[in-house]
Amino acid sequence: MRGNQTSFIKAMVLLFIVVTMASCSSVPANDQEALTELKKINDPIEPTNRFIFNFNQGLDAAIIKPITGLYRGIFPSIIRDSIHNFMNNIKTPVVLANDVLQGEPERAGNTMMRFIINSSVGIAGLRDQATNWGFEDHDEDFGQTLAVWGVGEGPYLMLPVLGPSNPRDAIGKLVDNLIDPINLWADNDDREWVPITRTAVNGLDTRDRLWDILNDLEKSSIDYYAAIRSLYRQRRNDDISNGSGSKNNKTPNLAETTVINDPLDEPQISAVGP
């Protein structure tokens, strides 16, 4: 397992170098608007990413979606929810670590209470009793922690099987796996089936939860790849800002999305250009 992860890091670093170099080449220097647009899209290896996206789509259609369909057919939503809760609960230590690393005592306390309640009253995490008692679920990962520390996302990356990402989030995922207590325990005892099973079940659960959304999106989008790219970034930014710090009643963090390009203004990015 360790060996795999080291080679994964090496591959990521190599990929990062290739990506940075590729981004230097194909920029039209004379068109200011096109330049701004390209910077905003921030997807220098788009052809490669689209190729991987198509591969992932094929894999989904041939294997992942049919298996998820079977899973949805066999198990009623009560059981699927329990599995989701269980998987969510065993990942709590990693969420807690990231809460702490981000300097969020309030959320760290919330995460701790959730773990205590759900591991006991929630029957080993199968029931999410904590939410009913006012300790709502939230997600944190090391990619978000890096963002809070000021690390930029870098260029968009489509990872094989894993889907949309970027160098920051990919490294974050890796670190989360390295610090996970269950993975550490399994690694020490040579129980390779533990992380493998966990990854598989997590994947199944994620695909199950996205079932309707992806069905709708694929049907209605005219560029599915671009839609996913945009949604992934917006969702991550929302996660990073923790939905602007409060559940409700606060000004949403729209600075990065809609306010800069106000729809009330004429669609002009700059005065320069045709």
Write out the residues near other proteins by the rule CB under 8 A: 33, 37, 41, 81, 105-106, 108-110, 112-113, 116, 128, 131-132, 136-137, 216, 219-223, 225-227, 229-231, 234-235, 237-239, 241, 243, 246-254, 257-259, 261-264, 266-269, 273-274
Helix, strand, coil proportions of the chain in percent (round to 5)?
A: 65, 0, 30
- Given the complex with other proteins, which of 117 and 170 has the nearer CB atom? 117
| Residues sharing a CB contact under 8 Å with residue 192, sequence separation 6 or more, in sequence order | 1, 186
Cβ 249 to other proteins, closest distance in Å? Answer: 5
Cβ 106 to other proteins, closest distance in Å? Answer: 4
- Given the complex with other proteins, which of 190 and 266 has the nearer CB atom? 266
H/E segment holding residue 157: strand 157-159
Cβ 157 to other proteins, closest distance in Å? Answer: 16
- Given the complex with other proteins, which of 199 and 244 has the nearer CB atom? 244
Please tell me the distance from the alpha carbon of residue 244 to that of residue 253, in angstroms, as a whole number.
Answer: 6
Of 48, 62, 261, nearest in space to 156 by CA: 48
- Given the complex with other proteins, which of 169 and 187 has the nearer CB atom? 169
Cβ 99 to other proteins, closest distance in Å? Answer: 10
Cβ 42 to other proteins, closest distance in Å? Answer: 11
DSSP string, 3-25: HHHHHHHHHHHHHHHHHHHHHHH
**Distance of alpha carbon 185 from its chain centroid, rounded?**
25
Instruction: Find the distance separating the first CA and the last CA of the chain, reported in whole Å.
Output: 55
- Given the complex with other proteins, which of 191 and 209 has the nearer CB atom? 209
